[in-house]
Structure 1
Amino acid sequence: MVIRSYDFGEADRVIVLLTKNHGLVRAVAKGVRRAKSRFGSRLQLFVNLDVQLYSGRNLATITQADTVDYFGAQIIDDYDKYTAACVMLEAAERLSLDHDPFLYELVVATLSTLQGSEQPMLELDAFLLKAMAHAGWAPSLFNCAQCGAPGPHHAFHPAIGGAACGKCRPPGAAEVDTETLHIMWLIAHGHKAEATVAQAGEAHQLIRALLQWHLERKVNALSVMDQQLK
């Protein structure tokens, strides 16, 4: 899956691929920026590819690329879907592990669902929760993350790992609707969830804070999405 690309030299481009069995692979597509490139438009975002690579010291070289799926047709013309998909690809790059097909398969499945979704932000948030859970960062959404006291609780803080009871609530914890945490649990486990605009927005901000806490750096595409939400 093409998740990022950038120009390299006069006519080449580096393509960042999320692979099923080899984690992230960075490869050069030679001459792809020329008008008569043999790769055409295949090496772009939201394209699932079957590629042949020649291994190099630092970068592989793409020798052949055939399109398996193209998800962009129903995404790139819809701003909400496009920004959600961009956040997903950027997060996938940060969360990728070697020899682990889970994230690749989750990206493909989510892009497929996102094409016809009427709630792209919830689809993105479900992806982020599942990806973080696979990385070992699943938040506690009912019991207190600090002491295990049964919930539901009204506070959430990424530093302690999710929901917080009154005794364990740290300074700066967000005051949350317990139904928002329930919605997060539902989408994290693959269930449908009906959310108001306020609940969906609150869930998104909690998931955003949790992701950036663990990554210890900004996800640039999230900032673009948040500007639109404002």
Structure 2
Amino acid sequence: MPTYRDEAVVLRTHKLGEADRIVTMLSRRHGKVRAVAKGVRRTSSRFGSRLEPFMVADVQLYAGRSLDIVQQAESLGAYGADIAADYDRYTAASAMVESADRLTHHEPVPNQYYLLVGALRSLSRGEHAPRHTLDSYLLRSLSLAGWAPALDDCARCGAAGPHDQFLAQLGGVVCTACAPPGTPHVSATVLGLLRALLGGDWETVDAASARDASQASGLVSAYVQWTMERGLRALSHTSPSQGAR
């Protein structure tokens, strides 16, 4: 079977035997890949540290019947150490890779790959609040997968907005006629923050108040839980967004 090479970000790992590890990666050209990295748990391993979660590597793999085999790995983005050193960054990154694992399969999804790598790079550098980076990543990755929330027109009937009620189970904002009793009202500033998170408008995101940021994070969490049918385990460990200080 052929040997192939690709860029990949490590999503998760599992121990295998005494010295090996199964590595699940999101690659640029081959989608999600599961491969055995032999001997990486030994201290003498040539590339063990390059195949930890949140790391980006240029990997050479041998295509196996059920699991591929990692033959080489060269670091392209060593983000793991900076992320693991900070609890908020670590939990945010954990939710990101869990989401990527759930949203991707074996088909090529280069946009999802680039989005995840960019988010992890930004997170490791501390460019924005970790929860802001996570919320933006979740909304944008869901949008790439075809599940963008409705933030302007009614998610149910398409009536032109703006609307001020949001229900995750219906796909976003809904008009008064479509909103079930008890549907919560959302302020224009929170909806504007959600649009900024989805569009990558970091000037608006970074200037958001703690109250608006917390409410937006709650809506993102509810939408993710509804869209993925079950919540992300790592999301329950993330800290609420603090907004502008």
Would you call these one fold, judging by a TM-score over 0.5? Answer: yes
Q: State how far apart, in whole Å, the 2-side matches of 1:174 and 1:8 are.
A: 48
Q: 1:220 aligns with which of 223, 233, 242?
A: 233
Residue 202 in structure 1 maps to residue 215 in structure 2: yes
Residue 187 in structure 1 maps to residue 187 in structure 2: no
- The answer (yes or no) to whether the contact 2:57–2:75 under 8 Å persists in 1 is yes
Name the TM-score, length of structure 2 as normaliser. 0.88
Q: State how far apart, in whole Å, the 2-side matches of 1:187 and 1:82 are.
A: 20
Amino acid at match of 1:119: A
Amino acid at match of 2:224: L
Post-superposition offset of 1:172:
5.4
Post-superposition offset of 1:118:
3.7
Post-superposition offset of 1:67:
0.6
Report sequence identity in percent: 45
- The answer (yes or no) to whether the contact 1:50–1:65 under 8 Å persists in 2 is yes
Secondary structure at the counterpart of residue 92 of structure 1? helix
Amino acid at match of 2:77: D
Name the TM-score, length of structure 1 as normaliser. 0.93
Q: State how far apart, in whole Å, the 2-side matches of 1:69 and 1:119 are.
A: 20
Amino acid at match of 2:14: Y
Residue 106 in structure 1 maps to residue 106 in structure 2: no
Residue 147 in structure 1 maps to residue 160 in structure 2: no
- The answer (yes or no) to whether the contact 2:14–2:22 under 8 Å persists in 1 is yes
The residue aligned with 1:53 is 61
Post-superposition offset of 1:14:
0.3
Q: Which moved more, 1:58-67 or 1:205-214?
A: 205-214
Q: State how far apart, in whole Å, the 2-side matches of 1:184 and 1:34 are.
A: 45
The residue aligned with 1:134 is 144
Secondary structure at the counterpart of residue 144 of structure 1? coil
Post-superposition offset of 1:229:
3.7
Post-superposition offset of 1:134:
0.9
Secondary structure at the counterpart of residue 111 of structure 1? helix
1:1-230 superposed matches below 5 A:
1-97=9-105, 98-114=107-123, 115-171=125-181, 173-192=183-202, 193=204, 194-225=207-238, 228-229=239-240
- When the two structures are aligned, how many residues end up with a matched partner? 228
State the superposition RMSD in angstroms.
1.6
Q: State how far apart, in whole Å, the 2-side matches of 1:207 and 1:58 are.
A: 36
Q: State how far apart, in whole Å, the 2-side matches of 1:41 and 1:81 are.
A: 19
Q: State how far apart, in whole Å, the 2-side matches of 1:159 and 1:143 are.
A: 15
Secondary structure at the counterpart of residue 50 of structure 2? coil
Q: Unpaired segments of 5 or more residues in structure 2?
A: 1-8
Question: Residue deviations 1:5-32, cap 9 Å, x none?
Answer: 0111222110011100111100001111
Secondary structure at the counterpart of residue 38 of structure 1? coil
Q: State how far apart, in whole Å, the 2-side matches of 1:178 and 1:111 are.
A: 29
Post-superposition offset of 1:154:
2.2
Post-superposition offset of 1:177:
1.7
Post-superposition offset of 1:123:
1.1
Question: Residue deviations 1:91-121, cap 9 Å, x none?
Answer: 0111114112001100111112222224111
Amino acid at match of 2:186: V
Post-superposition offset of 1:55:
1.1
Secondary structure at the counterpart of residue 159 of structure 1? helix
Q: Unpaired segments of 5 or more residues in structure 1?
A: none
- The answer (yes or no) to whether the contact 1:2–1:17 under 8 Å persists in 2 is yes
Q: State how far apart, in whole Å, the 2-side matches of 1:44 and 1:140 are.
A: 36
- The answer (yes or no) to whether the contact 1:74–1:116 under 8 Å persists in 2 is no
The residue aligned with 2:4 is none
- The answer (yes or no) to whether the contact 1:86–1:221 under 8 Å persists in 2 is yes
